[in-house]
Structure 1
Amino acid sequence: MVAITVELRNVEGTQAAMGWAGSHTIVVDRPEGKAGGQGLGFNGAQLLALALGGCFCNDLRYVAEEMGVLLGRIAVSVVLELEGSPQLAKSAEMTVLCEKQDGDGAERVIERAKEVCMVANSLGRGVAVSIEHAA
């Protein structure tokens, strides 16, 4: 089993948080005017949609390399639908354009990436989440 750890801390002088994994960072905040948000970074729903689309973009590259296919243009769009109070993700729709370097379609690459995409498959199957109070 592989475990990935990320850390988040408040950003001094704001009500935003800075998250990091290794040497990569990201700012998390609420929209300006909402619960002290200043719009300094992505909100949770945006991060969830980015995780889904970003993971799929990476998997297109992994799969293409395994298949010996050189990719050209990739364009991924994710629409995450939220509902309820508290808001929950109801559905996610991802639209994928992926072309080989010669401009031909890469349907086989897309289909294989669907099979192996960790975030898409994890969300589709449900992920156990626990939240515990730190001592």
Structure 2
Amino acid sequence: MTRMQVQLRSIGGTGAALGWAGAHTLVVDRAEGRAGGTGLGFNGGELLALAIGGCLCNDLHYVAQAMGIAIESIGVDVELTLEGAPLLATRALVRVEVVPVDPASDIVALIERARQDSTVSNSVARGIAVDFLTA
């Protein structure tokens, strides 16, 4: 079993929060004027879409290395659909483009294997338990 942990803390004088994992940081906020948001960072939906796409980008590199495929470039676009009240993510449409160094590389197989291995999209698709503890 692998465990990962992140922390988030409010940024004084703003409506935003700073999130970090190890030495990596990002700012989480709401759109300017929405519930005190200042537009300084990503909202939750954007973070979810970035997690889906970012995880896939990493998996494309892992799988390409395992398959012996050199990659020139990767493009991943994620469109997240949110509906209802409370607002829920109901669909993620992921567009993937991989340009290999060798045009004869099996990019279809690469993308399919990476999709099958993608931790975030597989977790979202299958559902995960989210438990809350209060301090």
TM range (shorter): over 0.9
Q: Secondary structure of the residue that 1:8 maps to in structure 2?
A: strand
The correspondence of residues 1-135 of structure 1 with structure 2, limited to 5 A, is: 1-103=1-103, 106-134=107-135
Give unpaired runs (5+ residues) of structure 1: none
What TM-score do you get using the length of structure 2 for normalisation?
A: 0.96
Aligned partner letter, 1:132: L
Aligned partner letter, 1:112: R
Alignment RMSD? 1.0
Aligned length: 134
Aligned partner letter, 2:14: T
Moved over 2 A (4+): 102-105
TM superposition shift of 1:103: 4.2
Give unpaired runs (5+ residues) of structure 2: none
Aligned partner letter, 1:3: R
Aligned partner letter, 2:64: A
- Greater shift, 102-111 or 17-26, is seen at 102-111
Q: Within 1, Cα distance between the matches of 2:133 and 2:11?
A: 22
What TM-score do you get using the length of structure 1 for normalisation?
A: 0.96
The CA deviation string for residues 19-75 of structure 1, in whole angstroms up to 9 with x for no partner, is 000000000000000000010000000000000000000000000011111011211
The CA deviation string for residues 108-135 of structure 1, in whole angstroms up to 9 with x for no partner, is 110100110000110111111111111x
Aligned identity (percent) is 53
